Amino acid sequence: MKKVAIVTDSNAGIRQEEAKELGIFVLPMPFTIDDQTYYEDINLTQEEFFEKQISGAEIFTSQPVVGNVKELWDQILKDYDEIVHIPMSSGLSGSCQTACMLAQEYDNRVFVVDSQRISVTQKYDVIDAKRMADEGKSGQEIYDILTENKLNASIYITVNTLDYLKKGGRITPAVALLGGMLKIKPILQIQGEKLDSFAKTRTMAKGTKIMKEAIAKDIEERFGNDYHNVHICVAYTYDQEPALALKKELEEMYPGEEIICDPLSLSVSCHIGPHSLAIAICKKI
């Protein structure tokens, strides 16, 4: 039986300490903040990130340096036969394509999964991959199963302010100004390789209602009308209190299911800002 290592990047929202407990490897994502480079959960915590963001710092994301990826893989392959590498969606970053090209140098020992996921849904892929590796599945088998399941996930996010979408160039300053005057709070959907507008509202409470309706519709139409077939997760940026309240509501809606409450990864938080709230759903493997 081959010994298979599971590798991901910190876009999955898995901290280094948690990675050690799970028995996986997490490549920290780099951030440039006011012209200085930081690495998520190495010299940049969630709290420090939001302090800088709220204070108006210029923040940019970038993909891992190829040399750092290669160095990590080389070290792991001293102890493992194969690697399953699960980066963030290729539609949201070039890091997946870079990893795919690099993997060609490793003679079918590294399998790069374009899971087309990010943050909490990406995390579920990593956890599922680790379980399958522990069950004795090969890198190719894990790759095939995750690839087949990759589109069976969505994240719905109610964004509290348009400021950070404007900063990231995802909306124009004119749209941001008008939206701010009308107090519009967009609801975004991340599904597959796309980040799309899903709905608009004027209150976070209404946004929460729309997101709950969206996952109920997904369960009915995409996942066999059985909520036991899916993982459901509440996610948030900066402020955990409303997320915990939403978690309680979902536990009442879906009794018997474990509802996870996690922060959104910093790569997502960078573009939507603090005080945003999300519900994620993905099919169980």
Burial 110-149 (b: 16+ CB within 10 A, else e): bbbbbbbbbbbbbbbbbbbbbebbeeebbbebbbebbeeb
Do 248 and 269 lie in a common domain? yes
Residue 255 lies in a domain: yes
Supply the pLDDT for residue 153: 94
For each successive 10 residues of the chain (285 residues), what is the average pLDDT?
Answer: 94 94 95 93 93 92 90 97 92 82 95 91 95 97 96 92 59 39 72 78 91 96 95 95 96 95 90 91 94
Do 163 and 243 lie in a common domain? yes
Burial class from Cβ neighbours inside 10 Å (0-12, 13-18, 19+) for residue 255 reads exposed
Residue 106 lies in a domain: yes
Q: Which CATH number do you get for residue 137?
A: 3.40.50.10440
| Domain count along the chain | 2
Do 175 and 274 lie in a common domain? yes
Do 158 and 252 lie in a common domain? yes
Residues of the domain holding 83: 4-28+64-149
Residue 224 lies in a domain: yes
Helix, strand, coil fractions of the chain, as percent rounded to 5? 45, 25, 30
Residue 59 lies in a domain: no
Three-state DSSP state, 48: helix
Q: Is residue 206 a contact partner of residue 187, using CB atoms and an 8 Å limit?
A: no
Last residue of a domain, one of 117, 132, 149: 149
Supply the pLDDT for residue 180: 43
Do 174 and 211 lie in a common domain? yes
Strand partners, 197: 188
Do 99 and 176 lie in a common domain? no
Do 141 and 208 lie in a common domain? no
Supply the pLDDT for residue 172: 39
Query: In degrees to the nearest 10, what's the CA dihedral of 66, 69, 74, 77?
Result: -140
Tokens of 25: 């490897």
Tokens of 256: 């018997």
Do 145 and 157 lie in a common domain? no
Quote the CA–CA distance of 260 and 12 in Å, as a whole number.
Answer: 14
Residue 50 lies in a domain: no
Do 176 and 279 lie in a common domain? yes
Do 194 and 125 lie in a common domain? no
Query: C-alpha angle 58/60/63, rounded to 5°?
Result: 165
Global pTM reads 0.90
Do 166 and 246 lie in a common domain? yes
Residue 199 lies in a domain: yes
Last residue of a domain, one of 91, 126, 149: 149
Q: Which CATH number do you get for residue 248?
A: 3.30.1180.10
Q: Which amino acid is at 130?
A: K
Nearest Cα residue to 122 out of 16, 256, 262? 262
Do 187 and 94 lie in a common domain? no
Q: Is residue 99 a contact partner of residue 143, using CB atoms and an 8 Å limit?
A: no
Query: In degrees to the nearest 10, what's the CA dihedral of 94, 95, 97, 101?
Result: 140
